[in-house]
Structure 1
Amino acid sequence: MAKAVFLDRDGVINVDHGYVHKVDDFEYIEGVFEACLAFKKLGYKIVVVTNQSGIARGKYTEDDFHTLTEWMDWNFADKGVDLDGIYYCPHHPEKGIGEYKQDCDCRKPKPGMLNTAARFLKIDMSQSVMVGDKADDMRAGKAAGVPTNILVRTGKEVKQDGIDEASVVVDSIADVPKVLEAL
């Protein structure tokens, strides 16, 4: 069984400009590639788990998401980082349109994306870590049995509920390798 670092996307990997779906709007958080290389050296798989309610709301399509994701994946590969999995939730229980309006088990804070990744990639959740920028990311990690849930300050405004749910709060993903080395 492998251990993994689960990463939220917007606010953790890239600057959250709101419903980011175009390459031109995608701005990496400083230090993300170096942090991911460090995760790999520490023996972690890297799995992206991202809510994409912009699809549900009709702001962009799943094809738009896949095009951007493929570009992002190649950027990581060019820097020597292979992402082991990318999981997304295109649903929203209230604001979704058509088939996307549903209360699914994949939308964080529910653990569906993490659980699916764990089964498919043979991940030991008790050895894994969740990195996110809001309370729902921390809740999803906990619900999936992830003991270490790290809140970063580079995304949504850090609120008390996020701090309360987190194992530790750091400035950005660049600080996470130090936390993992101490585990």
Structure 2
Amino acid sequence: MRAVLFDRDGTLVHDVPYNGDPEQVRPVDGAREVLDALRARGVRVGVVSNQSGVARGLLTSAQVDAVNRRVEDLLGPFDVWQVCPHGPDDACVCRKPAPGMVVRAAAALGIAPAECAVVGDIGADVGAAVAAGARAVLVPTAVTRTEEVDAAPLVAPDLRAAVAMLGVGP
């Protein structure tokens, strides 16, 4: 496993629907420590994030960028960012559960998708990983549906356990 790609909202930071305000960014417990441990082991880290608020007119790309900068301020640098600004009906290849962001993130890192894992909180995150040929770990939250948990290949109670399951974490 050469890279771990994380969903942003609900996985690395607490989900604030359509957040365009960097001041509302709050990391989940242990996120910084897990990311720092991965970095220390030479594992590349990235973010793959659906941001349909842009397509819906609820956010601007500049707001998404500002929130992403705040995430980096709090959690440290990421090797790659992939953001899908499209809505659910746009039929793009990047919006999770489509594999586009995972494939592009792997390409940007110079590795194959099979050398990546995706950690997320909903079935779309798992679906994108599987579709791209990457490993997937679901870290459920209050919004994760039971059927998503049941369908996930790996389920972890938190980020630390998720990366441990992948054999790359603390």
Q: TM-score, normalised by structure 2?
A: 0.90
Q: Which residue of 1 aligns with 2:43?
A: 44
1:170 matched to 2:156? The reply is: yes
Letter in 1 for 2:98: K
Q: Which residue of 2 aligns with 1:135?
A: 123
| Distance change >3 Å, CA 76–CA 107, structure 1 → 2 | same
Q: Which residue of 2 aligns with 1:92?
A: 87
SS of residue matched to 1:53 = coil
- Which consecutive aligned stretches of 4+ in structure 1 deviate over 6 angstroms post-superposition? none
Letter in 2 for 1:32: A
Structure 1 position 182, deviation (Å) = 7.5
CA distance in 1, matches of 2:163, 2:4: 10
Larger Rg: 1
CA distance in 2, matches of 1:42, 1:34: 12
Structure 1 position 141, deviation (Å) = 0.1
List alignment gaps of at least 5 residues for structure 2. none
SS of residue matched to 1:46 = strand
SS of residue matched to 2:137 = strand
Q: Which residue of 1 aligns with 2:68?
A: 69
Deviation string, structure 1 residues 118-147 (Cα, Å, up to 9, x no partner): 12211232232110111111010000101x
SS of residue matched to 1:140 = helix
1:116 matched to 2:104? The reply is: yes
| Distance change >3 Å, CA 158–CA 43, structure 1 → 2 | same
Give the CA RMSD over aligned residues.
1.9
SS of residue matched to 2:81 = strand
CA distance in 2, matches of 1:167, 1:45: 22
List alignment gaps of at least 5 residues for structure 1. 95-101
Letter in 2 for 1:72: V
- The residue correspondences of 1:78-89 to structure 2 (distance < 5 A) are 82-89=77-84
Letter in 1 for 2:148: G
Number of residues paired by the alignment? Answer: 169
| Distance change >3 Å, CA 3–CA 19, structure 1 → 2 | same
CA distance in 2, matches of 1:131, 1:172: 10
Q: Which residue of 2 aligns with 1:152?
A: 139
Letter in 2 for 1:88: V
Q: Which residue of 2 aligns with 1:180?
A: 166
